[in-house]
Structures are given as structure tokens and as C-alpha cells.
């Protein structure tokens, strides 16, 4: 039987700390903070397997009792979070938003949220920005794992010749290999789905049943613990979203967590004593509730105000922690003990009833929202606006690599970079804010549009980021351009002011491959998807509401870029001024539909409207002579 260990509570504290800091505005300092979830997986695999395996060995294991413990461990703390999330959605969301929240909550209640969120994962999907229960995907992975683990251990215990450790180790290695393969094929699947995460839970399970002897020399234990700490720190502070994850990239943090659990068994290492310190241990004790509350509190706070400052971020984290302590004290702890002598079977039944009641509440949420808000059909249509023209208007999957599953090899250079003999060649390079210009550019019909774009990919020398970005930019700038001179190179991205030095350097370098370099400035952005902002504006009859949701920083960035690039003699098109010729920015296309479908990406109609307004600056002056172009092909 695994006894309660203070050092594991401390390990939980660091795991939840990494996750909270990463989610709540401090990812700059903890870029790999997401590894806290991997730490939780290893810890959970160790503790739960130890309990199950010990009970099986004593002949005392009961499936009903096991799920009784899981119900009392998981559900009580979840219920107030779900209720708070649905109440907040009822107050702040229109019916379509309430329906989305209800769908997310139901998937979480049924512990299939990891699958549900995976099916919705996509570059242009705004679900994550408003999904208050997005973080519950990890709970779904765990509960799915614990459907199979007890049954497998029970079966193996009855077949004495079956090598349990060897079999589980083989499954773990197979899961890790599959994860490493899948991370290069579909990173979202590798991130969300059980079969690619099982190895992390199994790693903890193997430690629990492996009966490994402790180091005989305390110095060895301390050295291993320090090495483990270094592995975890290297992962938390050295990894980033740009590195393919999980798979082998998750191995160091999992090994580090395993080693800390292993070396801390006797409580004799310096690290284990530090982890068992009362203050650290207390954070670990409330870590489950802290994890549950931090994300919805952060999202709700971000909707009320923009938590840019350190104090605002710390305030939201503090609110989450206070709610976690209250939940742990008055909800979690009482229910972990079988209350009032209730039997295990009855406790499980109460859990099922509670789940059913919460599901009914979630299903009722959109209906109640519709009844209270009484949203006119036109407003409801706007609020639920969805755009599906990415494949054609952006050329997603061919000339625009929009997700991790779209590797550089998927870029179709023969179609995307086809030189014309009759029209001037305009090469568009950049991220999604370049790709959304394609529909408008190709509509001019007087130019041949070449396109090389990838999500999150700034068109600058030495681009960093995902493989789809770095390899594509390297191919275009170091292979294609030296062999094919084009009339105009157009650079567009979701610019930041900090990009200016690298952008100016890139422009100077590109001049050797084209007589004309043209930079498109930043687009108008909104704090929420533009269709939802317009829906609120119409519902409240307040046209000024749209301006209140506009991100002011973009106008400042546009002004600074225009001045700096102008001084450097670079042609610049102000997208911001084209869409906002006065204080009232253009938000509707000719069909009276939003020109942007999320915070800033243009629809096809929006792209054509923008390019039509800047067409003169786009097409003139023509600096490159046809003879020069032909001679360099």
C-alpha cells in the first residue's frame, strides 16, 4: 500500500505552478509550463496504480470501491466549477455562445472532452479562446486510462505466468513510439488522445509495481534527485510551443518526475525535504482545485479587462487560488471520506445522479439563454457566424500550411510558385495574415499571384518556429528566389513593433531578387471575434460598441511601421488606414456580412474589399522590366 507522501504533494505544487503561470500570462518566463500536465500524468499513474496493485495483491480489490474513490476524488470539485462556468455563460453569452459552452461542459462531464476538443482543433478555430473547460481534456485522458488499467491488472494477476511489468513496459514503449510518429503527422491528436499519452501514465504505473530498491548511498540519491530537478527545469524553461510535443520531447520531464518520486520514497534527499516543506505541500494539496479554477477565472477576467500588467495577472491567479482553497476545504476534503456512512455502491450511484443532473443543466443552458436574451434571428445568425472558405480563399493545405499536421512536404510549389509568361509575378510571403490577402489579390486578374505562407510564420530572415515555417521560408528565400526573379515580393504578417529591425534587414536582403518589395501593414484586430462584436452591437443598439472592442495597439504599430519603413525607402501599404479611413472602420462587406470572421482574419469578400481599396498602390509603380525578368528565368 502506498502511504501518503509529502514530497509528492510538493511535486504537484510545481506541476500546477508551471501550468498556471503558462496559462495566465507568464509563458514568456515559463515557455514550457505545459509540461506540468505531463508531471500530473506520471504522478497519477504512480499513485493510482500503487493503490490498485496493492489491493489486488491482498485480494481486497473491488471495482465498485475503486470507482467510488474516483467519483469522490473527481466529481465534487468539478461541480462548483461547472456551475460557475454555466452561470457566467448565462450572464455574458448570447445563445450560440451558451450552446458552445454547454457542448464543452457536457463533453467534459462525460470525460470525452479530449476527443471533442481534438475534433474542433484547427488554426482558425476560436474555441480555445472562449472554452472555459478546455483544460479538462487531461482529466478525460486520465479517466479513460483508468477504465482499462484496473481491469488489465486484475486479469494479469490471475494469469501467474504473465509478466505484468514486461507487458506494461512494452505497451508504454509502443505508446511513446506512436506519439513520436503522430506528433509529426497530427500534433493535435498526439496532444489530446489517450493512446499517445498512455505511456506517461504507464511510466508512473511501472514505478509503482516495479519494486525498485532505493540507492544504498545517500549521495547517489541526492545526485539523482538533482539530476531529475534539472530535467524538469530544462523542460519547463527550455521547451516552447515551437517544439513538436509531446512524444520524445516529453521524455525528460517524465523521467525527471519518475526519479523524484523514486528518490523521495525514503524522504532522505535534499530535494524531497524541500518538496515536503509545509508551504509547498499546501499548494500541492489544493493543486487539483487550483488547476480546475485557474483557467475559467483567467478567461472570465480577460473578458472583463485586459490583464496586461503583472499585478492584474497575479490578481487573477490569486483569485483562482482562493477559490481553490475554499473548494479544497469545503468540497474536496469532506467528500474524499465516505460521508455519513454511505456505501461505495450508493456513493457511485450518487455520482451518476450528479452527472445526469449537471448534464440536464448544461442541455438547458442554451434554451434558458434564448428565453432570457430574446435574440432576434439576425443577431443570432451573426453571433453564430462560421466561415468555411479557408480552402479556396486561403489555399489552406496547398499554399498555406495552417496546422501542425501540414508538413513542409505538403506545400505544392508547382501550383503555388508557378511563374507566368504573360502577367507580372507577385510573390506573397508570410503567415495567415498574408494568406488572407490571396482572395483579393487573385481577383485583380492583372497579376500572377505566387504564394508561400504558413501559420505563425513571419517572412523574415532566420524565421523561427514550427518546421512548416522554417523549412518553407528557407526553401523560398534560399532556393526559389535565387532561381526565379519576380516583379514584386509582398510581405505580410501579424506584425509586432519588435519585428521592425528584422523586417528591415530582410527587405534589404530581398532586393537582390526583385526590384520591388512591398510590405502590408497590420490588420485591424478585435478583442473578440468581429461577428460576435457586431451581434452585441446590434443587440444593444450601440454602434460605438464595435470601436470599444478594437485593439488600439494595432493602430500604433501601423503608424510606427509606416514611418520607419518609409524612412528606409520601403513601399508600405497601410491595411489599417484602408479599412479605417476615419474613426469608423469598415466591418461589413457588400452582402452585409462581417469582413473578418475572428479577431482579425479576412473573409474572401473582406479580402477583395481591402485589395480593391489599395489596388492603385499595389499595381503602381511597375519598376521591373519584362526583359530583365525573362533574362533571369
CA 255, 256, 261, 265: dihedral to nearest 10 degrees? Answer: 110
In angstroms, the CA 425 to CA 484 distance is 10
Is pLDDT at 126 greater than 70 in this prediction?
Answer: no
Q: Which residue, 174, 111, 176, is CA-closest to 146?
A: 111
Mean pLDDT of all residues in 235-257? 92
- pLDDT for 435-493, tens place per residue? 999 999 999 989 999 999 998 889 998 777 677 888 899 999 999 999 999 999 999 99
Q: What is the pLDDT of residue 283?
A: 97
Residue 455 maps to which CATH number? 3.40.50.1110
Could you tell me if residue 544 is inside a domain? no
Lowest-pLDDT range of 219-223, 580-584, 627-631: 627-631
Residue-wise pLDDT for 521-543, tens only, equals 999 999 889 999 999 999 999 99
Residue 538 inside a domain? The answer is: no
Domain membership of residue 385 (yes or no) is: no
What is the pLDDT at residue 628? 39
- Whether 629 has a pLDDT exceeding 50, the answer reads no
Q: Is 88 exposed, middle or buried (0-12, 13-18, 19+ CB in 10 A)?
A: middle
Tell me the percentage of the chain whose pLDDT exceeds 70.
Answer: 93
Residue 397 shares a structural domain with residue 265: no
In a domain, 588, yes or no: no
How many whole angstroms separate alpha carbon 289 and alpha carbon 323?
Answer: 8
- Note whether residue 540 is domain-resident: no
pLDDT in tens, 293-339: 999 999 999 988 888 899 999 999 999 999 999 999 998 888 776 55
| Burial track 555-574 (b if 16+ CB lie within 10 A, e otherwise) | bebbeebbebbeeeebbbbb
pLDDT of residue 161: 58
User: Above 60 in pLDDT, residue 567?
Assistant: yes
Query: How does the average pLDDT of the chain come out, rounded?
Result: 89
Q: Tell me, yes or no, whether 304 and 436 share the same domain.
A: no
Does 434 lie in the same domain as 322? Answer: no
Q: What is the pLDDT of residue 630?
A: 40
pLDDT band at 627 (very low <50, low <70, confident <90, very high): very low
Residues 184-208 have a mean pLDDT of: 93
Question: What is the rounded CA–CA span in Å between residue 118 and residue 134?
Answer: 11
205 and 340 assigned to the same domain: yes
Position 616 pLDDT exceeds 80: yes
Q: Are residues 108 and 73 located together in one domain of the fold?
A: yes
578 and 491, same structural domain? yes
pLDDT, tens digit, for every residue of 128-165?
Answer: 667 999 999 999 999 999 999 998 898 888 776 568 88
Rounded mean pLDDT of 236-263? 93
379 located within any domain: no
The pTM of this model reads: 0.85
Question: Do 166 and 290 reside in the same domain of the chain?
Answer: yes
Q: Is the dihedral of CA 594, 600, 604, 609 positive or negative?
A: positive
Reference 403, options 196, 118, 108; nearest CA is 118
For residue 318, the tally of other CB atoms under 10 A from its CB is 11
pLDDT at 624 > cutoff 70: no
- Average pLDDT, stretch 565-591? 92
Q: Which residue is listed with cell 459552452?
A: 101
Strand order in the sheet with 400-401: 400-401, 448-454, 425-430, 488-492, 517-520, 571-573
Q: What is the mean pLDDT of residues 599-607?
A: 95
* Residue 599 included in any domain: no
Residue at a domain's end among 348, 373, 398? 373
Q: Cβ neighbours of residue 97 under 8 Å, at least 6 residues apart?
A: 89, 130, 383, 532
Residues 46 and 192 in one domain: yes
Q: Give the pLDDT score at 343.
A: 60
364 with 394, same domain: the answer is no
Among 18-22, 75-79, 265-269, 410-414, the range scoring the smallest mean pLDDT is: 265-269
**pLDDT the model gives residue 29:** 94
pLDDT, one tens digit per residue, over 349-386 is 766 777 788 888 888 898 888 888 888 888 988 988 88
Do residues 349 and 343 touch, judged by C-beta distance below 8 A? no
In a domain, 140, yes or no: yes
- Residue percentage of the chain with pLDDT more than 90: 64
Task: Look up the domain containing 577 and give its range.
Answer: 390-528+554-582+605-631
Q: Give, in order, the Cα–Cα distances in Å from 569 to each of 500, 513, 539, 560.
A: 14, 17, 46, 14
Is residue 174 domain-shared with residue 289, that is, in the same domain?
A: yes
pLDDT-derived band at 586, boundaries 50, 70, 90: very high
3-state secondary structure of 572: strand
pLDDT score recorded for residue 162: 60
Residues 366 and 417 in one domain: no
List all residues 6 or more positions away from 131 whose beta carbon is below 8 Å from its beta carbon: 100, 101, 104, 117, 299
Of the residues 373, 400, 427, which one is the last residue of a structural domain? 373
Domain count across the chain: 2
Q: Check pLDDT > 50 for residue 272.
A: yes
Q: Is the pLDDT of residue 584 over 60?
A: yes
Instruction: Say what the pLDDT of residue 128 is.
Output: 65
End of a domain among 346, 373, 400?
373
Cross-strand pairs, 526 = 550
Task: Identify the pLDDT of residue 326.
Answer: 97
Residues 321 and 194 grouped into a single domain: yes
Amino acid at each position: 500500500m502506498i502511504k501518503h507522501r509529502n514530497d509528492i504533494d510538493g511535486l504537484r505544487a510545481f506541476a500546477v505552478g508551471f501550468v498556471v503561470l503558462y496559462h495566465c500570462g507568464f509563458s514568456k518566463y515559463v515557455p514550457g509550463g505545459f509540461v506540468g500536465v505531463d508531471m500530473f500524468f506520471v504522478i497519477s499513474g504512480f499513485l493510482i496504480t500503487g493503490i490498485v496493485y496493492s489491493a489486488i495483491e491482498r485480494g481486497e480489490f473491488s471495482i465498485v470501491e475503486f470507482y467510488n474513490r474516483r467519483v469522490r476524488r473527481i466529481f465534487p470539485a468539478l461541480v462548483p466549477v461547472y456551475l460557475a462556468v454555466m452561470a457566467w455563460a448565462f450572464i455574458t453569452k448570447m445563445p450560440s455562445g451558451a450552446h458552445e459552452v454547454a457542448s464543452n461542459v457536457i463533453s467534459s462531464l462525460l470525460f470525452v472532452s479530449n476527443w471533442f476538443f481534438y475534433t474542433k482543433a484547427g488554426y482558425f478555430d476560436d474555441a480555445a479562446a472562449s472554452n472555459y473547460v478546455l483544460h479538462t481534456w487531461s482529466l478525460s485522458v486520465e479517466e479513460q486510462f483508468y477504465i482499462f488499467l484496473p481491469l488489465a491488472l486484475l486479469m494479469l494477476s490471475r494469469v501467474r505466468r504473465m509478466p505484468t511489468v514486461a507487458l506494461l513496459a512494452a505497451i508504454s514503449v509502443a505508446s511513446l513510439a506512436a506519439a513520436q510518429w503522430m506528433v509529426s503527422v497530427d500534433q493535435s491528436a498526439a496532444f489530446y488522445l489517450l493512446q499517445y499519452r498512455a505511456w506517461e501514465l504507464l511510466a508512473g504505473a511501472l514505478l509503482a509495481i516495479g519494486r525498485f530498491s532505493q540507492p544504498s548511498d545517500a549521495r547517489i540519491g541526492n545526485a539523482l534527485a538533482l539530476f531529475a530537478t534539472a530535467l524538469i527545469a530544462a523542460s519547463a524553461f527550455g521547451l516552447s510551443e515551437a517544439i513538436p510535443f509531446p512524444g520524445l520531447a516529453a521524455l525528460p520531464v517524465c523521467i525527471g518526475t519518475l526519479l523524484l518520486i523514486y528518490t523521495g520514497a525514503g524522504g532522505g534527499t535534499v530535494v524531497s525535504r524541500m518538496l515536503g516543506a509545509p508551504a509547498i505541500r499546501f499548494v500541492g494539496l489544493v493543486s487539483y482545485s487550483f488547476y480546475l479554477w485557474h483557467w475559467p477565472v483567467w478567461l472570465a477576467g480577460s473578458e472583463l479587462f485586459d490583464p496586461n500588467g503583472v499585478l492584474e495577472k497575479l490578481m487573477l491567479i490569486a483569485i483562482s487560488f482562493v477559490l481553490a482553497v475554499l473548494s479544497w476545504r469545503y468540497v474536496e476534503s469532506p467528500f474524499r471520506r465516505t460521508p455519513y456512512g454511505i456505501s461505495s455502491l450508493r456513493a457511485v450511484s450518487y455520482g451518476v445522479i450528479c452527472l445526469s443532473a449537471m448534464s440536464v443543466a448544461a442541455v438547458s443552458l442554451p434554451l434558458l439563454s434564448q428565453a432570457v436574451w430574446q435574440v432576434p434571428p439576425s443577431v443570432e445568425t451573426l453571433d453564430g457566424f462560421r466561415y468555411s472558405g479557408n480552402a479556396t480563399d486561403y489555399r489552406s493545405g496547398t499554399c498555406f500550411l495552417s496546422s501542425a499536421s501540414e508538413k513542409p512536404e505538403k506545400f505544392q510549389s508547382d501550383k503555388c510558385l508557378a511563374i507566368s509568361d504573360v502577367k507580372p509575378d507577385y510573390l506573397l510571403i508570410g503567415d495567415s495574415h498574408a494568406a488572407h490577402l490571396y482572395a483579393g489579390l487573385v481577383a485583380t486578374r492583372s497579376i500572377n499571384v505566387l504564394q508561400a505562407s504558413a501559420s505563425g510564420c513571419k517572412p523574415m530572415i532566420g524565421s523561427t518556429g514550427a518546421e512548416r515555417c522554417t523549412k518553407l521560408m528557407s526553401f523560398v528565400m534560399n532556393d526559389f528566389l535565387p532561381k526565379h526573379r519576380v516583379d514584386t515580393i509582398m510581405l505580410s504578417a501579424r506584425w509586432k513593433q519588435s519585428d521592425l529591425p528584422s523586417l528591415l534587414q530582410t527587405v534589404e536582403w530581398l532586393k537582390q531578387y526583385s526590384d520591388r518589395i512591398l510590405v502590408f501593414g497590420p490588420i485591424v484586430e478585435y478583442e473578440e471575434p468581429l461577428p460576435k462584436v457586431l451581434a452585441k452591437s446590434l443587440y444593444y443598439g450601440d454602434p460605438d460598441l464595435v470601436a470599444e472592442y478594437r485593439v488600439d495597439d494595432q493602430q500604433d504599430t501601423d503608424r510606427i511601421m509606416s514611418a520607419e519603413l518609409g524612412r528606409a525607402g520601403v513601399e508600405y501599404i497601410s491595411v489599417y488606414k484602408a479599412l479605417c479611413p476615419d474613426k469608423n472602420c469598415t466591418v461589413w462587406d457588400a452582402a452585409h456580412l462581417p469582413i473578418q470572421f475572428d479577431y482579425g482574419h479576412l473573409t474572401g469578400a473582406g479580402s477583395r474589399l481591402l485589395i480593391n481599396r489599395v489596388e492603385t498602390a499595389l499595381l503602381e509603380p511597375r519598376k521591373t522590366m519584362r526583359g530583365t525578368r525573362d533574362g533571369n528565368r
